[in-house]
Every structure is written in C-alpha cells, then in structure tokens.
Amino acid sequence: MQERKFKLGLARFPYGGNGALSSEVPQIGDWLYRLGRWHARNLHRLESEMWSFCRSDTPIPMVRNAAAFEARRDGVDLLVMVDSDMHPDIHRGFDSQAHVFIEKAFELFCEHYDKGPCVIGAPYVGPPPHPITGGNAVPYVLQWDGDCNDEALRSYSLKLMDRFDAGRRTGIEKVAAIGTGLMLFDMRLFADGAMIPPWFDYEWTNEPYNTGKASTEDVFFTRNCSLCGYPVYCLWNCWAGHAKPAVEGKPQRVSSDMVGEQYAKAVKRGYNSSERLTTLNPTKTTNEVLEDLGLAPGGNGTPAPMSPGAASKVPMRITDDEWHAMRQQHADGTVSVGWPNDSEDHKILEKLVQDYAAGCLGALLVVEIGSWVGQSAIAIGKGIRAAESDGRVICVDTWMGSPADPTGPFATETGRADLIRTFRGNLQASGMADMMGAIISDSLTAAAAWPHGPVDIVFIDADHRYEAVKADILAWMPHLRPGGLICGHDYHDDAHPGVTQAVDELFPEVQCEGNIWWVETEEAVSVPADKADELREKLEAAEDGPPVLQRGPVRTVSEIAESMVPQVSVSGPGAEAADNED
C-alpha cells in the first residue's frame, strides 16, 4: 500500500418516517463518540478533519447517492455509511471473538488499497418473524445461487444466507452482496469509469407497473460491484444489531417439551451466559485442579491435610510479624499483600488505561500477567470505567509467587488457595468482579494456548527477572492488536533491574511515569515461537528458578469461587441467605 493519509467520511440517514421526528437509536450516539476518539488516535494514517453527511429524507436510494456524490466531490477516500437503526459492534465485550467494525474494516481497506477498490460490510439480520405471515430474521448477506433452475440467470441470481450457517462463520469472507446498514466504501468505486450511476437504486417486479421490489438499493449496488469485479467483503466477527420493533401476536404458552434439555439444566444450575470455560490442559481432571489449589478433592473447600513429615519440608521463611506486616486490610474492604492498594503506581496505571480506553471504539480486552491479589487488576478496571467504556480483564497468574521477591516464600507459607480467596474477595469488594476472568497458569503456557483473539492491553507484573520479563513480552506481543498497548510495572526500580534491562532491549522508545512503563504499538508483531521457549528453558534451568510451572484451566472468577469455600461474604440483600446455603 502506498504511504499516504486518507480522508475519512461518515454518512448518516436519521429518517423518522411518516412525519415523525428524525431519530437514531441511542447506540449510534455512543458509537459516534467512539468513532471520533478512534479517528483522533489514528491521525498518523487519517487526515485530521473527518467529513460528515447527515440527511433525513426519502427515498433512501436518493440520499445514499447524494452522500456518495458529495463525498466524491469533497475528496473523501473512504466513506462509512451507518443507518439510523444500527447498533454497531453489538457483541463487543460479550463475545471473545467479536471485533470492532471500523478497526477491522480500515485495516482491510489499507491492505487491499493497492489491489483496487472494495466494499466492506458488517453482517446483521432482518426483522423478527410476523405472527401471521411468518418469516425469519435472516441475515442480510447474499451468496450466488448456484442452485437456480434458470441457467440463464444462474450467473447473477442471489440467495440469502441461512441464519444458522451465518452464525457459525468467522473471519473475513468475500460475498456476492450485503446490506448497507454499516459499511465502508473505497470511494474509488464512485469515480468516473468505475461504477455506473445511479449507484444505488431499486429493482422492481411486474414491470412496467413496478408493484413490488425485486431488490433493494444496497443489494443493487453491492451485487453490481461484485459483477464488475470489485470484491464485497463481510466481516463475520463484527456483527451489528438491527433495531426493528418486534411484532407480537397472541402469547404462546411454553410447555416443558419446548425447552431443550441442556437449557433446562443450565437454568437449574444457575449458569451465567456471559461466563465461558476454556481448558488449557484438557488432560487434567477437576480433582487434579483442586489438588493444584491445595484443596481436598471433592471436599468442603478446606485445605487437604498434610502428610506426615510434610510440615518439616516447608521452609518457614516468614515470621508472624512479617506476615501481618505484608497483609493489610483497608477501609474499602480490599486486602493488600506486600504493598498498599492505593499506591501512586496504581493511580498512574488507572489513568493510563482510562486515557487509552477513551480513544477506543468498543469494549477492551485486557490481559494482566501477574495479578497476585488483584490490586493492579482493580486499577485497570477503574480506568476502563472512568472512560465510560466496557471491557474484560483476564488475570493470568500461578498464585505461587516468584522466587525473585518475597511473594514466593509468602505463597509457600500461606498457600495458593488463600491467595486466590483474597484475590476474589478484593474483586468483589471493589465491584470489579463482573468484568474479571482468571487463568490459573504460568504466563507462557497461557500465551501459547490463548483462545480469545486480539488483545487491546497487556500489563506485565509477574516474575521480575530479566529472562522472565523478556519471555513474557515476547510471548504476548503477537496477541496484541495493531495500536495495542503493552505496559508493565517496576521500570527503573533498583530492586528489579531485570525489568528495565528487558524492556529497553526490546523497545527503542519507552514511556514511563513512576514505575509504570508503556509502549503503544502501531503494527501487529510476529515473534518466533521458539524465542520465548528458549528463555523459559533458561529460567527452569536456573538454580533459583521457579517451581514446576502449574498448568490449569481458564476460569471466570465465579467458577474459581465455586471451589473456594468458605466464600468471601458479600454485603447486601440476600447475602445472609447465600451464606446459610453454603
């Protein structure tokens, strides 16, 4: 792709209909704010001024043609059209595979630019079924109909994609046509000699009387692009919501035989649909996981009794006074272990995340390497909420401490189960538990098996030795999306020189405040798979290396809680009843 800046245009069509006031669904306003912040963060690739078109009028082919005509006249390079009933990026923050449309569409636009113009759209479905006439909420994505009976029409006859087939698709797919509810156009499509105007138009049945629509203006244009050799792409990970009023008829009683067996079981067991379970090591049984946590398999959550003589094998490295000095209860209900929960570095981290989140479109996916008892995870969560954004923070830790600092002997003394209980209690006390997930694993194993897609922010605060920090950075950089933020703690800290050495070796320019360091990437990073493994082998071979690395399942905080009894009490209505049930 040639080196240049592109002029971005936005076209909106807030038609009210039937004399009503012009309007858009509320989600459009939030999306426009995020779009503006994203635009401001990409001024190295976009011109500073965003072109805008907004017209409330009908027929819709006329206003779409007007938007394209005026954008061409004013030198716009790429034009985003969004309809008034769209909810862009509806699954972002709820589905780990969901992506932000403008980010993925712009990335594809840039990759495709030297190959020629293209159309990029988000999938969405039509209105729900009518109680009398029926129908189905089918996706507005069309394929060429190879099964058409009329051979003369087969080469350009279209069919709607099956809704269940569409729901299983992922990635980027070249399609025949797509609805224009949320779409990015390369403006070279509208240049003289490209697509023939009118670009958007209806096609009719029963000509010349035109008593019905054979195709709408969006299908008309995108199908013609495909026929002219300009590819039309569907971003399957960028679904948009389609706000259409559901037409309700006579209420239908739901009988027991209409409820699926698995759904009934889920309801009875109180499953939360937002929780997901991904196994890093499928060979481990539940009992083995509980044993890893120091809990009796199948027991009541109390630590498994030590075998005779086991106590003498555990070095007593921390006195009672040292233990109480490290573990402090705070007024907000959280517990710190080793350092205060309101340290200046936590405030710096919170502000860093807040500033970054404010410039992102959609919910964030954050990975924290080294969570301990959750204090930095809480700071990250506060930053996301301060930006009035949504997000998910995945905390990766063995909860066994590090041999390079007091966390190792402390974890040995108190036990991992107690640390995880403290971690969970802190998240609950701070009100952040609903946006947190946990992976009980070492960093490199978790990175090798990472199932959740591109990451917006990686925060590293685990093993502080040089090889460990460098291995963590190399292992997680490939998962960071272009424009993502990698950051960490204890930079320029005399107690941890390995952090500064590793960071400075890998990044020519590093920003820092306090002991927080960060680097904002511009492009995706590829790291040889064996590089992090090589450093890992050095760590395991070192005399002061960590204990055998623990591998475990990816679990939500709620799932961890099920194996952590007694439960940390939660204040509020129903808390006492819940405790009694336990």
Are 176 and 300 in the same domain? no
Are 136 and 54 in the same domain? yes
In the prediction, which pLDDT does 190 show?
A: 95
Rounded distance between C-alpha atoms, residue 454 and residue 576, angstroms: 41
Q: Is residue 481 part of a domain?
A: yes
The residue out of 219, 242, 265 marking a domain boundary is 242
Which two three-digit tokens encode residue 163? 């809704």
Are 570 and 435 in the same domain? yes
Q: Provide the CATH number for the domain around residue 465.
A: 3.40.50.150
Strand (E) or helix (H) holding 390: none
In the prediction, which pLDDT does 527 show?
A: 52
Q: Is 536 helix (H, G, I), strand (E, B) or coil?
A: helix
Q: Is residue 415 part of a domain?
A: yes
The residue out of 242, 265, 288 marking a domain boundary is 242
Are 219 and 149 in the same domain? yes
In the prediction, which pLDDT does 281 show?
A: 40
DSSP per residue over 292-356, as a string?
HTTB-TTSSSSBPPPPTT-GGGS---S-HHHHHHHEEE-TTS-EEESS-TT-HHHHHHHHHHHHH
Q: Is residue 543 part of a domain?
A: yes
DSSP per residue over 207-241, as a string?
TTT--EEEE-HHHHHHHHHHHTT--EEEETT---E
Are 230 and 357 in the same domain? no
Are 379 and 514 in the same domain? yes
Q: Give the chain's domain count.
A: 2
Which residues of the chain, if any, have pLDDT below 50?
Answer: 1-2, 148-154, 269-320, 322-324, 341-342, 524, 529, 543-582
Which two three-digit tokens encode residue 196? 């023939």
Cis amide linkage into residue 566, ω under 30° from 0: yes
Rounded distance between C-alpha atoms, residue 9 and residue 55, angstroms: 14
Tell me the CA distances in angstroms from 82 to 102, 134, 189, 462, 574, one per residue in order: 11, 28, 18, 43, 44
Q: Is residue 266 part of a domain?
A: no
The residue out of 191, 225, 242 marking a domain boundary is 242
Residue 303 CB partners (closer than 8 Å, separation 6+)? 294, 295, 296, 415, 417
Are 224 and 77 in the same domain? yes
Q: Is residue 406 part of a domain?
A: yes
**What single-letter amino acid sits at 63?**
V
Are 162 and 84 in the same domain? yes
Lay out the sheet containing 554-556: strands in order across.
511-513, 516-520, 480-488, 455-460, 364-369, 391-397, 436-440, 554-556
Q: Provide the CATH number for the domain around residue 42.
A: 3.90.550.40
Q: Is residue 325 part of a domain?
A: no
Rounded distance between C-alpha atoms, residue 68 and residue 63, angstroms: 9
Are 504 and 392 in the same domain? yes
- pTM here? 0.49
Structural domain range at position 538: 276-305+336-581
Q: What are the residue ranges of helices labelled H in 387-436?
A: 407-414, 416-430
Are 293 and 392 in the same domain? yes
Evaluate whether 290 touches 563 at the Cβ level (below 8 Å). Answer: yes
Q: Is residue 501 part of a domain?
A: yes
Are 293 and 147 in the same domain? no
Per the DSSP assignment, residues forming a β-bridge with 361 are: none
Residue 240 CB partners (closer than 8 Å, separation 6+)? 86, 87, 88, 89, 90, 101, 122, 123, 124, 181, 182
Q: Is residue 489 part of a domain?
A: yes
> Would you report the helix, strand and coil content of the chain in percent, each value rounded to 5?
35, 20, 45
Which two three-digit tokens encode residue 339? 């350092």
In the prediction, which pLDDT does 394 show?
A: 92
Residue 267 CB partners (closer than 8 Å, separation 6+)? none
Are 285 and 203 in the same domain? no
In the prediction, which pLDDT does 543 show?
A: 41
